[in-house]
Chain A
Amino acid sequence: MARNTDSNTYTILFAIGMVLVVGSLLAFTASYFNPTITLNKKLEKQQNILFAMGVNEATLSGNADDATSFVSTDKVTTEFDKYITTQLVIEGDKATEDKEAYLIDIKKESDQVKSDASYVRKLPLFIGEKDGEKFYIVPMRGVGLWDAIWGFVALKEDLRTVKGVFFDHKGETPGLGANIKEPFFYQDFADELIYSGDQFKGIVVAKGNADPKNDDKTDNEVDAIAGATITGDGVTVMIKKDLAMYLPYFNTLK
């Protein structure tokens, strides 16, 4: 072969060329797909919020088997507007209405607080109404074993009882921590109390609470997933910490 592929000049030129080609290829691909991906993420948030308050595919189809599926993406925006009556942004002690509160990035908000202690964190809160009942849906974010976990907890109008929850995660172990998004886990949270008497407890993902079927709804505990201790503890901490931030506002409602 005529070309000397071992020379330093060739190696450097090749490296530069390769970086340019691959870099621009990826940049073009990313910006081409970006609008679709952003839209997908928006719709997913709407699906998650509705799911936590018990609006799922079964609400629309009437078929109880669909209760673990989200409202489909083509219908979710209309359903979201129908069921979510108010979206609030709570800053300190004032709450303002904001139609796009659901787009607030909770991670950015908590990072802001970390870097600037005087920053007043924006807390989004969604108020939904279904069959005459009012629900308060709180978004939250925490850490699991490998990476971030997040979710939405819907509280009933008494602000003491959980209506339903939705959890998701970035990279928990499949079959173990990843099971926080499985029905057998999150369905246990329904009707659970977040208070013990007047004491705010959150909900503890507990090992060995001797209540695997979760019949006792007043113990502030749900059964943990075997093999997912750290993810489960992450859920416990996330619920307690993030719900606590909303308590001052909730107290003004009572």
Chain B
Amino acid sequence: MAEVAEQEKVKKAPSEPLFSKKNRKLITDPLTDNNPITIQVLGICSALAITAQLKASIVMTIAVIFVLGVGNVVISLMRNIIPSKIRIIVQLIVVAALVIIVDLVLKAYAYSLSKELSVFIGLIITNCIIMGRFEAFALANGPWKSFLDGIGNAAGYGAILIIVGFFRELLGSGTLLGFKVLGDPVEKTGLFAFGYENNGFMLYSPMALIVVGLIIWVQRSRNKALIEQE
């Protein structure tokens, strides 16, 4: 992905540049070979719950990118003063506070959007990827690296959400972002004129698990190194 442009940046920089190869890997790794959902198998619960529609997947992605990016930086800045005994609680408070602020801002300035998101905003708190990254990365690394790691992991999570949401909405409702791309099932236009039917089963959560399973299968058959040894 844009390999050339990124290599130029690396050459120019003297010490540890902002986008050094190592730092870039923080963003690209979670998108591919260390994806939070398909490799680390984290955040599955929300991936099942909200991917019945593409739009919800996209919005959740944006919200998680924000919360994880900012949260990682906050935790990273506090990493030397957090008492280790209560670090999990501290992390939880940081996520909860961020999520509440996001919720209030949306309610005040984008009321109709906040109504559509309703539960998702609250669900961010329960997303294990967030706590996982705080614990595994932000507590041990500087703010900039933590920021990149947060963005990367949230984007990796979001990429899977969007893929799953795409297939579930397309095959389950015959729509994408609410547009009837396959025709109208009641009026029998488009594909439906040829006897095609929506697969209502796609709207149920178990199908999200199956779609995620298929993605894992495809990913591991393309990169054999990801297959766990006995």
Contact = CB atoms under 8 A, between A and B. Distances in A.
Given A18-B93, A37-B107, A5 B86 contact: no
Contacts of A169: 118
Contact of B97 (A25, A168, A176, A213): A25
Given A29-B104, A175-B172, A14 B97 contact: no
B130 to A, nearest CB: 16
Interface string A163-201: 000001111011110000000100000000000000000
Given A5-B81, A29-B104, A14 B118 contact: no
Interface string A17-45: 01100100110011001001100100010
Most buried by A among B83, B111, B173: B83
Given A213-B186, A227-B204, A5 B109 contact: no
Q: Interface of chain B, helix or strand or loop or mixed?
A: helix
A26 B107 contact: no
A11 B86 contact: yes
B80 interface: yes
B218 interface: no
Given A15-B86, A40-B111, A226 B173 contact: no
Contacts of A174: 50, 52-53, 56
A30 B111 CA distance: 15
A11 B101 contact: no
Nearest to B205: A173
A18 B92 CA distance: 12
A40 B107 contact: yes
Contact of A10 (B83, B109, B172, B186): B83
A253 interface: no
B97 A26 contact: yes
B105 interface: yes
Nearest to B111: A40
A92 interface: no
A6 B203 contact: no
A171 B118 contact: yes
A6 B84 contact: yes
B200 A26 contact: no
Interface string B41-77: 0000000011011001000000000000000000000
Contacts of A175: 52-53, 56, 168-169, 172-173, 203
B90 A18 contact: yes
Given A33-B108, A175-B169, A11 B53 contact: no
B100 interface: yes
Nearest to A14: B83
B11 interface: no
B119 interface: yes
Contact of B107 (A22, A25, A33): A33
A26 B109 contact: no
17 contacts: A1-B80, A11-B86, A14-B81, A14-B83, A18-B93, A19-B93, A33-B104, A33-B107, A37-B104, A37-B111, A44-B111, A171-B119, A175-B53, A175-B173, A226-B203, A227-B200, A227-B204
Interface of A: 1, 3, 5-6, 10-11, 14-15, 18-19, 22, 25-26, 29-30, 33, 36-37, 40, 44, 146, 168-171, 173-176, 184, 212-213, 226-227
Interface of B: 49-50, 52-53, 56, 80-86, 89-90, 93-94, 97, 100-101, 104-105, 107-109, 111, 115, 118-119, 168-169, 172-173, 186, 200, 203-204
Q: Which 7 A-B pairs have the closest CB atoms?
A: A175-B52, A11-B83, A33-B108, A36-B108, A171-B119, A40-B111, A33-B104
